[in-house]
Amino acid sequence: MAMRKERILEQFHESAELNSQAAATLAQPIADAIDLMFAALANGNRILACGNGGSAADSQHFAAKLVGRFERERLPLPAIALSTDTSVLTAIGNDYGYHEIFAKQVQALGQAGDVLLAITTSGQSGNVVAAVEAAQERDMRIVALTGNGGGALSSILSEMDVHICVPHQRVSRIQEIHLLTIHCLCDGIDVALFGGDAE
């Protein structure tokens, strides 16, 4: 029992230490991402989001907070999680392969001026990388949430894109910072678009 409690405390301490470390390095790119997303939404564009597994859940969480609300009553904001339509996902996966499940949706739904929120803890997810490439072909901007150095995704981002790379290798820790980052993005978008503090 004592060993179990000690292990739990280690998890909390490691998470708290990473939060403090990440705050120093990620505050500016998160602010840049807020500016990019605000500009897109204010111009009538929308945000598409994608990821696999836990990152798919994060993309859905982000879209839900924009379309519904984060911490205030406001108008709905246009955001789409590309991991939610099982008919589309299985049709594309069956006909073209899993690698294309997000890219095809970006080609169908993305417009110049839109933003793609690409989430992958490793930066190595082939279907997320393909979605980024498809978005770049449509003159969309990218906000990439990665970790562990950013992987293959970091090498294809342009200077116009925003890379938020968590300085850690452990997936669970990276995901924790990704969720906090998503909440920072939602809060920053709300303040930029509607001003003041949440009610």
Q: Residue 142: CB partners within 8 Å, gap ≥ 6?
A: 115, 116, 118, 132, 135, 136, 157, 158, 161, 162
pLDDT at 197: 63
Residue-number span of the structural domain to which 43 is assigned:
2-194
Query: Hey, what are 84's tokens?
Result: 């939610």
Domain membership of residue 120 (yes or no) is: yes
Count of domains forming the chain:
1
Domain membership of residue 199 (yes or no) is: no
Query: Hey, what are 110's tokens?
Result: 């993305």
pLDDT digits (tens, 9 = 90+) for 42-57: 999 999 999 999 999 9
Does the pLDDT at position 199 exceed 60?
Answer: no
pLDDT digits (tens, 9 = 90+) for 132-165: 999 999 999 999 999 999 999 999 999 999 999 9
Domain membership of residue 140 (yes or no) is: yes
| CATH for 97 | 3.40.50.10490
